[in-house]
Structure 1
């Protein structure tokens, strides 16, 4: 299961299953000790812009231009960068209903 090897930047504004900020749009899903600034995604039918920056093991998420979280991964066995021998990947979430993505870009920092 991919979530056991990496991390999810949440896109669910309802913060399922329990309404906690660590499950809200723009958070690193379920990660404790993140510096999360509550924000709301745009209404259904409008596009959101989500930028996820990862430098070493620090994850910073921006939702519609506003920084929503900054978090450093303490588990050095999880979220490892790709190597030629052990490639990683980027997954796109779609478990809470219909979700669409466009203009996806991946850039080396």
Structure 2
């Protein structure tokens, strides 16, 4: 499946909050950054293979998971969209750093 990014730092990775990692980049200016410590409402809506990413009710990104798209920049262990077109699966939450702190609450999954 796809990784939908949560990252508000101005440094580090070029994929910021709302990005479909490796496929559709949102820069810091489009990520709807809020002050550190602010709770945000983050919604990822997937209908068929169309992804919509909202932060605090504002649409940050839309992505169509059509066949034939390649991961960018290319990495040998990351499949293109042909290997990411699932009708169901798992939801995962991650953080890459031992020093970054992120908290989640009220996580809900709703069938559309």
Please provide the CA RMSD for this pair.
2.3
Q: Which has the higher contact order (CA 8 A, sep 6+)?
A: 1
Aligned mate of 1:27, from 8, 16, 19: 19
| 1:57-91 Cα shifts (integer Å, max 9, x gaps) | 11000011100000011224314022xxxxx2101
| TM-score computed with the length of structure 2 as normaliser | 0.72
Give 3-state SS (helix, strand or coil) of 1:71's partner: strand
Aligned length: 95
Match of 1:81 in 2: 87
Residue 43, structure 1, aligned to residue 25, structure 2: no
Gaps of 5+ in 2: 67-80
Aligned mate of 1:101, from 99, 104, 112: 104
Residue 13, structure 1, aligned to residue 19, structure 2: no
Residue range with higher mean Cα deviation, 40-49 or 99-108: 40-49
| TM-score computed with the length of structure 1 as normaliser | 0.74
Gaps of 5+ in 1: 1-5, 83-87
